[in-house]
Every structure is written in C-alpha cells, then in structure tokens.
Chain A
Amino acid sequence: MYLVLFFLFAGLCVAGALNLLLQRHPIHSALSLLVVMSSLAVLYLLLGAEFLAAAQIIVYSGAIVVLFVFVIMLLNAGAEERTHGSWTAYIAGFPGAAAIFCVLAFIFLSQRKLLGTARLGDYIVTTRDLSQVLFRDLLLPFEVTSILILVAILGAVVLARKEQ
C-alpha cells in the first residue's frame, strides 16, 4: 500500500518536473511545478512528516507558486520560442547535473549510518516532536535562518523602493 502510493506520487513528481522543462508556456511550467510540490507533500506524508507535508502545501503550493503564476499573468508572458539553445548550456549543463546527482548520492549512501533511515509508514512525527527539535535542539540554526530570510526581505524592499 505505502509502496504503491510512493511509486505513484514519486512518478507523478518526476513527470511533473519533466513537464516543467518541456512545456513552452510559463503558466504550464508553473502548474507543473505545482504538481511537483504537491506530490512532494504526499511523499513527506508517507514518511510520517505530517506537519512538513501541510507546510509544503500551504507555503509552496499555496503561496510561492501562486506568486509565480501571479507574476506570469501580470507580465502577460507568451510562449517561449524554440531555439537550439546555447552550446555552453549543453556542455556544462548535463555533466554538471549528473555530477551534482552523483555527489549527493555518494554522500547520502556513504553517510547512511549517521543520517539514519526512515521506512515508509513507520511512525508519525507529531507536530510536538518536530517543534521540540526545531525550537530547542536546533534553535540557533533556526534563528540564523530566520535572520537570513529577514535580510533577504529587506534587500527586496530596498531594491523595489522608488527613489524619493
């Protein structure tokens, strides 16, 4: 049951990601991104991370991709034109993506013991457990990340502000 659901939504996720690249219209790409984000939420749910799944839907599907769609609609962007693409992109892109995939796979596989494993449908991480880890054990990284995001917001405001 869990395995069937996993393969269903993992397949949907990969299909959405491929569709994102292949679609010519930005709105269709943004909607493919929505599919990717939502199926990722289901994968989190299968791993028992229910709060993370809900946050993924609320933040990514419900806010960030909406903003993408909003900007695309506001700029009235048309379908992109098919070109042959630049050769640098082909030469650097595919090996680069392959290299990143290999490095990540190597790290995850070699550090398996330290990272620990979670099986599908093993247990449910309650919101209480999650918040205890986030706000007690990992408080400093959490606060540092918040400040980083705050700085980014201030930067965006400064850039967007009109000159008086």
Chain B
Amino acid sequence: MRVSSLSPVELFVLLSILKVAVVLLILLTAVAYTVLLERKVVGRIQNRWGPSRVGPFGLLQPLADGAKLFLKEDLMPDHVERTLFILAPILALICALMSIAVVPFGAPHLVHGVNLFQIADVNIGLLIILGVTSVGVYGIALSGWASNNKYSLLGSLRSSAQMVSYELALGLSLIGVVLRSGSLRLSDIVASQSAHGMRSWNVFGGFQFIAFFIYLIAAYAETNRSPFDLVEAESELTGGYHTEYSSMKFAMFFMAEYANMITVSCVATLLFFGGASSPFGNLLPAFGGPIVQAILPVLWFVAKVFFFLFLYIWVRGTLPRFRYDQLMGFGWKFLLPLAILNIIATSLALAWHG
C-alpha cells in the first residue's frame, strides 16, 4: 500500500505507533546500558574495573543481567497483599516510562503533519511530566506496604515523605523557566532558548542557575538516588521497599529507577540546557544535507542527557548518604525558600525589563 492512499488519521495513528515502539526500544536499551555505565564508572571511581568479562569491554553484561533476572525464581512471601504486591512494580514502571512521551528529542521535523522527534507535543507537557512523576510515588509506597515486612514498610514510608517534600521544591524551581518562556509546552521552552546557542540557555543567559541546582538536587531526591537514597539504605533497611521482590518484579523496580533518571536528565536538558539546540547557535555553519541537519540536534540532545546521567553516577560515587532529619530539613528549610526567592527574583527581573 502506498503512503498517499492512507487517510491522514490512519497515517497519524501508524506513525504514532511506530514512534512509540522506537522510543520505547531506545529507552529500554538506554536503561540497560545506563546500568552498565554506572557499574563501569563507579568501578573506576573506586579504583577497580567493573564488569569486563561478558563481551568486549563487558558490553554484553546488560543482556546477561537481563537473562539472569528473567530466569530467576519469582518468590512470593506468605501474607503479602497479593494484588498490590504485583500491581506496585507495574505501576512504578508504567509511570517511569510514560513521561518520555512528551519529550522532544530533536528539532521539530514534520513528515505528513507528524513530528518525527516527539511522540506527543501537548500544551501542558511540563505539567504532565510532573503529574506522572508524582503518581510514581504509589509504586514505591504500595510495594513496601504490601510486602508485609518492617524494613520494606520503613523504606516506603521514607520514600513517600521524601518524594512529597521534594516535589514542592522541584515544581517551584521550574516556574522561573516557565515565566521566561511563557509556555508549558516543552517544544516552546526549547525554542525560547535556541536563538543564540549557549548564551540563551536558561542556565547561563537566563540566569536560572539557582533554579537549575534546586531542580537537580530535588530530582536526585525524587528519584531516590544517592546522596538521598535513604529509601534503600542497605546498612539500615537491608533493601528498602524492594527487599521482598525477586526476578522480573525486582527488575521492574530497577528499570523504573533508571528510566526515571533518564527522564530527569531529559527534563534538565530541555528546561535549562536548550534541549536539542546546538551550544554554538548559528556560529556552526549548516553542513551536510537535510538528513544530517535533522540528526544533529538529536545528537546534541543525547550528549547533554548523557552528561546528566554521568553526573548522577559521579555524585553517587562521591557523596555520602544524608541523615533523614538532614534530608527533611534541607528540603523544607533551604531548598523551598530558595526556590520561592528565585521565583520572586525572576518575576521582578521580567517585570523590570518588560
């Protein structure tokens, strides 16, 4: 069947399904290789090799890990809340994978009226990411409660409190960016930063670096990563909320955590580092054909996301864990007021310049 014989609606549906499949495949591969990257980099930070046996440079390690997790026995302890015990990891993974749908990976590139590099360009893209993240709390909260285990329950209580607290600072830190671009649509936010390369990125030219650091810290807490990984603090809680999980259910939590890291890195790139726009702006001459020009922004985007993923791992290899009261005090007494001050300063500056 030729493309022109399809109606616009059919074409839209087909292209959308194709986009979803491709993005999902890339995201899951990225998740697997982020795990490998983490093991490699943390290994180097701790002066050891990390995985190096499976395949060249250990590159096939994710496949071996996946096969191992898939073939493991799926244990279900007695007296667990069966429905919720099974539902929790699914919920966590779905929420982690969903928010990637509104992320624009490259410059808008329309083919038959469908944007190739973004699954859905919605007006409230940023709010959708925030909403999906906030619903993601349930996966962790319910898993701990359904496990019928004290350590799991303590881990999930810690995580719910932590995530609800840091969500406020996280949401407020993004308002400065939204004020500057005047839109909640992610492609508009990227477009507002792409005029003069690095100078118009929100983190440099937009003077949103305070908001950027608040976002980064709050996002680390939101994804339960070190130095805020009290949820699964091994020395205190054995494994935290996923103590009782094994096999693919554990793998789902694991994948959800890394998918959330990727989402956070994408949002940091989009909101503060100009998304898929080049850091050199128009200084770089347009070389190659139209295909190269379409692919190049995607490469910039991937490079920036990779930087943030590396930062995540670097921080994990460097900083010790917070104490719980320090975590709460830091979130409520420092980050939240600072985020509010940033909003006031940004709106005053915008009002001053008209």
Contact = CB atoms under 8 A, between A and B. Distances in A.
A126 B167 CA distance: 24
Contact of B167 (A34, A38, A54, A62): A62
Interface string B139-183: 001101100000001001100110110010001000000000000
A57 B131 contact: yes
Contacts of A63: 134, 164, 167
B29 interface: no
Interface string B93-136: 00000000000000000000000000000111001101101110
Contact of A58 (B127, B161, B184): B127
B157 A74 contact: yes
A127 interface: yes
A47 interface: no
Interface residues of B, number: 28
A57 to B, nearest CB: 4
Given A61-B135, A66-B137, A66-B164, A54 B157 contact: no
Main secondary structure of the interface of B (DSSP, over half): helix
Given A54-B128, A57-B134, A57-B135, A124 B141 contact: no
A69 B141 CA distance: 8
Interface of A: 27, 31, 34, 38, 50-51, 53-55, 57-58, 61-63, 66-67, 69-70, 73-74, 124, 126-127
22 contacts: A27-B84, A38-B135, A53-B124, A57-B131, A57-B135, A58-B134, A58-B171, A61-B131, A63-B134, A63-B167, A66-B134, A66-B137, A66-B163, A66-B164, A69-B160, A70-B141, A70-B157, A70-B160, A73-B141, A73-B160, A124-B123, A127-B184
Interface of B: 81, 84, 122-124, 127-128, 130-131, 133-135, 137-138, 141-142, 144-145, 153, 156-157, 160-161, 163-164, 167, 171, 184
Given A54-B128, A61-B131, A126-B123, 5 more contacts: A50-B123, A58-B130, A58-B134, A62-B133, A70-B164
